[in-house]
Amino acid sequence: MRIPLAQADISPAEHRAVTEVIESGRLALGPKLAEFETAIAGYVGVGHAVALNSGTSALHVILEGLGIGEGDEVITTSFSFIASANCILFVRATPVFVDIDPVTLCIDPGRIEAAITPRTKAILAVDVFGHPADWPALERIAEEHGLLLIEDSAEALGSSLGGRRCGSFGRAGIFGFYPNKQITTGEGGVVITEDAELARICRSMVNQGRGDGDAWLKHVRLGYNFRMDELSAALGVAQLARLDEFIEARQRVASWYEERLAACPDVVTPSVGDQATQSWFVYVVRLAEAFNETQRDAILAALERDGIGCRNYFAPIHLQPFYREFLGTTQGTLLVTEVAGARTIALPFFNRLTRDQVACVVDALLRAIDEVLRG
């Protein structure tokens, strides 16, 4: 691609951090892991962090650690990366999808209570594209109905709502650190929580079920090999030190897109709520509702021919082939989600994207739209 969809921002500081770990000879379960966990917990303002190999694994161990399992239902959103629903299936519970807010694209609290049944155990909400979900409303619903509240903040490191950091809402939250995120550890994720007992259980599950201070071959529960290695943790420490710089750069790129697309009636640009501060993960626009999915896909193809990285973001989970077969979900049940999913376009977005590159992307997008409209 002439302009890629995403690109990690790696400086000499990250190279030095990783090299130091290699030269130390301690490549796993070392001091960098503890340093990264302490730094993440401090940044978010929570008591505990457990770093591990992915955001997906982080959600998995939270659900299992909270005792969610077979026969339970977890209310969640279909407008997300598939991992936020898969983790519910991992523990043999059932995801129950509700529709989204048409502006923020996060789960719509007003639709949740109608989905609650005697089997409902938790609400798992997502900070979509880095925009905070309506956590005060979700907290009220969870408290009134005695439900656990879990935050998938994989895309929202640095975002906040009402001055409170994303990831700190509910019983526990997670971040993901894939290379397209605000910071990266290559692959990686973290559990964040104020619940010391949940953190202890998650730390054990991540490390093959070993207990605190137990011998290497003593295992107190069923566990997994979900550990984060020292190289990844060292990369994370160096990246986290630059997070404010990254957030500022991404905000600047988002403002360039907004500036150039504001007068285009065929494109809906993302908006940020009054109480929200958004740490941009991706820049996703939506085509006006006059467009259909076939036209959107033609525009994506035209952008790719022009060397512009792009993607539909997200494809609704309930319409994925596996979910249709396994849960029997069908089209027409989540109308706001389906309308959004058919019209989204993720444009190139990363720290070092230049103003000229943004202009090139927007020009290519407008050409593609014009071609589709002219048939």
Could you give the residue numbers annotated as active site? Answer: 181
Secondary element (H or E) of residue 285: strand 283-287
Tell me the torsion sign for CA atoms 22, 28, 31, 35. positive
Tokens of 94: 């059932």
Contact 42, 34 (CB under 8 A): no
Cis amide linkage into residue 349, ω under 30° from 0: no
Cα separation, 366 vs 271, in Å, equals 20
274 CB neighbour count, 10 Å cutoff: 5
Question: If we measure between CA atoms, which residue out of 7, 1, 12, 58 comes closest to residue 238?
Answer: 12
Radius of gyration of the chain (CA): 21
CA end-to-end span of the chain, whole Å?
A: 26
Cα separation, 341 vs 98, in Å, equals 14
Residue 98's DSSP bridge partners are: 77
Sheet holding 276-277, edge to edge: 164-165, 160-161, 276-277
Tokens of 155: 């895309």
Question: If we measure between CA atoms, which residue out of 371, 367, 310 comes closest to residue 344?
Answer: 310
Burial code of 155-167, b = ≥16 C-beta within 10 A, e = fewer?
bbbbbbbeeebbb
Q: State phi, psi for 23 to the nearest 5 degrees.
A: -70, -25
Contact 154, 181 (CB under 8 A): yes
Q: State phi, psi for 218 to the nearest 5 degrees.
A: -110, 125
Tokens of 42: 């401090």
